[in-house]
Amino acid sequence: MFERDDSRVIEPFREMLLSWYRDHQRDLPWRKTRDPYAVLVAEVLLHQTRQVGAEGLAPRASDLEALPGIGPYTAAAVASIAFGEPVAVVDGNVRRVLARIFAQADPHPRWLQETAQALLFQGDPGRWNQALMELGATVCTPRSPRCVLCPIALFCEGKDDAERYPASRVRRQRGVHAAALALRGQRGGFVLEKRNGQALGGLGGVPVR
Ligand code: SF4
């Protein structure tokens, strides 16, 4: 396992991933011009961020994240790919790749963001983010990852038991609950009460005993 701030290891790690991405990236429509994804996304989003764009400034990830419907992933992706902001993207693919490289069964979101940020190639953050996501989408897949073809296998601590990382999220078991409902009222109306507890807590409903 390498330390995420060990530049002697991070530099070759970055070079291998970026070299692989240059040669193996999928021929997706928005990669056919010099920066098509940036143009596409920026055109759409700048309509919503003209209070920022009007001043001639590129919106930062934090500006984008403040917009309705824009989450941390989208904000980081747009800011890095379209505007070159050095902010790491952590989507499901990146989470899986990082969990496997560092053999983390249950990586905390903060650890993921800090690790992704530490590994980020500052020279071209958009390209780096896309390379990491591409690896997760095409090589380091959830099932049967193709470790023999992986450009960063040398650095991967979890490759011998890759599907163990990250551990699948345990689904909360569904229970069967018996309850008696009381329907009370008069003249076409009936009594509702606010529920407590985990079963529809906070919602209104007929009294349950
Ligand atoms: S070596 Fe295997 S598990 Fe590790 S990053 Fe590459 S594809 Fe994923």
> Can you spell out the DSSP letters for 54-81?
TTT-PPPHHHHHTSTT--HHHHHHHHHH
CB 193 within 8 A of CB 207: yes
Q: Which atom of ligand 1 is nearest to the CA of 156?
A: 4
User: What pLDDT score was predicted for residue 197?
Assistant: 64
CA distance 126 to 64: 16
User: What pLDDT score was predicted for residue 164?
Assistant: 96
User: Cα(49) to centroid of ligand 1, in Å?
Assistant: 38
CA distance 117 to 85: 12
User: What pLDDT score was predicted for residue 74?
Assistant: 80
User: Cα(124) to centroid of ligand 1, in Å?
Assistant: 23
Q: List, chain by chain if needed, residues with CB within 6 Å of any ligand 1 atom.
A: 97, 100-101, 139-140, 145, 147, 150, 152-153, 156, 158-159, 162
User: What pLDDT score was predicted for residue 34?
Assistant: 46
User: Cα(35) to centroid of ligand 1, in Å?
Assistant: 28
User: What pLDDT score was predicted for residue 66?
Assistant: 78
Please give the structure tokens belonging to residue 170: 């345990």
User: What pLDDT score was predicted for residue 107?
Assistant: 96
Domain boundaries, the chain: 7-164, 179-209
Q: Which atom of ligand 1 is nearest to the CA of 96?
A: 8
User: What pLDDT score was predicted for residue 131?
Assistant: 96
User: What pLDDT score was predicted for residue 148?
Assistant: 97
Closest residue by CA, ligand 1 atom 8? 140
CB 34 within 8 A of CB 148: no
User: Cα(33) to centroid of ligand 1, in Å?
Assistant: 30
Phi and psi, residue 181, nearest 5°: -105, 135
Across the chain, which has 209 residues, the per-10-residue mean pLDDT values are 81 97 82 54 56 61 75 84 90 96 96 96 94 96 97 97 89 62 70 69 70
User: What pLDDT score was predicted for residue 26?
Assistant: 87
Phi and psi, residue 197, nearest 5°: 85, -175
User: What pLDDT score was predicted for residue 119?
Assistant: 97
The DSSP string of 13-61 is: HHHHHHHHHHHH----GGGSSSSHHHHHHHHHHHHHTHHHHTTT-PPPH
Q: Which atom of ligand 1 is nearest to the CA of 162?
A: 3
Find the angle CA(32)-CA(37)-CA(41) to the nearest 5 degrees: 150
Q: Torsion over CA of 58, 64, 68 and 70, rounded to 10 degrees?
A: 130
Angle between helices 109-119 and 7-24 (to 10 degrees): 80
Cα 111 to chain centroid distance, Å, stands at 13
Q: What is the pTM of this model?
A: 0.73
User: Cα(157) to centroid of ligand 1, in Å?
Assistant: 9
The verdict on domain 7-164 having CATH code 3.10.270.10 is no
User: What pLDDT score was predicted for residue 69?
Assistant: 66
Q: Which atom of ligand 1 is nearest to the CA of 139?
A: 7
User: What pLDDT score was predicted for residue 98?
Assistant: 98
